[in-house]
Amino acid sequence: MSRSGAPSSVTARPQLSHLRALESEGIHVMREVAAEFERPVLLFSGGKDSIVLLRLAEKAFRPAPFPFPLMHVDTGHNFPEVIEFRDRRVAELGERLIVASVQDSIDKGRVVEETGPRASRNRLQTVTLLDAIAEHGFDAAFGGARRDEERARAKERIFSFRDDFGQWDPKNQRPELWNLYNGRIHRGEHVRVFPMSNWTELDVWEYVDQEELEVPSIYYAHQREVFRRDDMVYAWRPGTELLPGEEVFTETVRYRTVGDMTCTGGVLSSASTLEDVVREISVTRITERGETRADDRVSEAAMEDRKKAGYF
């Protein structure tokens, strides 16, 4: 049962830290979904939040395999380090990974690629995600979203109902009482489930530390070729179209969130160890999405609008 292989016995009375309380809540949510849905799936991006989700799933279901597959919506513009990590982690766990590809959606004519220097596949992911959910007949999808991330998310339920168009209706959510989750849906509808709703970014890092979880190397300070746009520092890669006045330079950065390379900004940081990162996060004065996500800067309600359309 234990990670080292041999069962160990803990005799001291366990102390229940806030991390253990949040962990227990997450495990409870996962088991409820496994029991009440026919075809759940866990959305795994290779980012820190979904890395924690995988650990919660191990805690909920081992020594058995997970009662659901994992799925990654691959924009084709992911950091290579993250894709490498994703495949390695899935192999270590011995679980099944489905890759839903935005490139396939483009090739099939389901979506039209944006063009120009500001082109991003971020919005296109929603179509790929909803298509994959429909194709596989998934009725519940675990996500690593947290309520502290963004103000529309602060209002979202742990079991977040989606209609047969994949839409979220924030004004018409089911009340969620005690720890009793209503998992009833009609055919074609599904539920997004957020076992880490009550976690903060700092909780995630402290948990990564406590559980000694590996995260992709881009979360730690490294040298990278970057360019500056809209007060953010973006990774340059071959093929990136620059605007007039923009130039490529080398900088020491790390990432606070893992998303599409085209819309995820890096943070100037020298935090090269987990300890450094926890220290940096505990004193930061800027939210992770504010600091790193161009997609949320579009308007006051950018996330709300994307969520209504079926986004993560």
Q: How far is the CB of 142 from another protein (least distance, A)?
A: 15
Q: Tokens 């308007």 correspond to what residue? A: 299
DSSP for 52-72, written as a single string: HHHHHHHHHHTTSPPSS-EEE
Q: Which is nearer to another protein, 21 or 242 (CB)?
A: 21
What is the rounded distance in angstroms from the CA atom of residue 49 to the CA atom of residue 253? 20
Q: How far is the CB of 232 from another protein (least distance, A)?
A: 12
Q: Is 2 in the site for another protein (CB under 8 A)?
A: yes
CB atoms within 10 A of CB 193: 26
Touching another protein, residues 184-243 (CB under 8 A)? 184-186, 197-198, 200, 202-203
Region binding another protein by CB under 8 A among candidate stretches 85-93, 99-107, 119-127, 299-307: 299-307
DSSP for 81-135, written as a single string: HHHHHHHHHHHHHT--EEEEEHHHHHHTTSS----STT--STTHHHHHHHHHHHH
Answer for the pair 184, 206: CB distance below 8 angstroms, yes or no: no
Helical axes 201-210 vs 274-283, angle rounded to 10°: 160
CA proximity to 63, closest of 134, 7, 126, 143: 7
- Number of residues near another protein (by CB under 8 A): 68
Region binding another protein by CB under 8 A among candidate stretches 56-64, 216-224, 249-257, 265-273: 56-64
Which residue in the set 68, 304, 306, 312 belongs to the binding site for another protein (CB under 8 A)?
Answer: 304
Touching another protein, residues 59-88 (CB under 8 A)? 59-65
Measure CA 268 to chain center.
Answer: 22
Q: Is 96 in the site for another protein (CB under 8 A)?
A: no
Residues in the chain: 312
Q: How far is the CB of 112 from another protein (least distance, A)?
A: 27
Helix (H) or strand (E) holding 249, with range, is strand 249-254
Touching another protein, residues 14-53 (CB under 8 A)? 14-18, 20-25, 27-28, 31-32, 34-35
* Contact flags string 166-195 toward another protein, x per CB under 8 A: ----xx-xxxxxxxx-x-xxx---------
Q: Which is nearer to another protein, 81 or 163 (CB)?
A: 163
Footprint of another protein (CB under 8 A): 1-3, 7-11, 13-18, 20-25, 27-28, 31-32, 34-35, 58-65, 147-148, 151-152, 154-155, 170-171, 173-180, 182, 184-186, 197-198, 200, 202-203, 284-287, 290-291, 300-301, 304
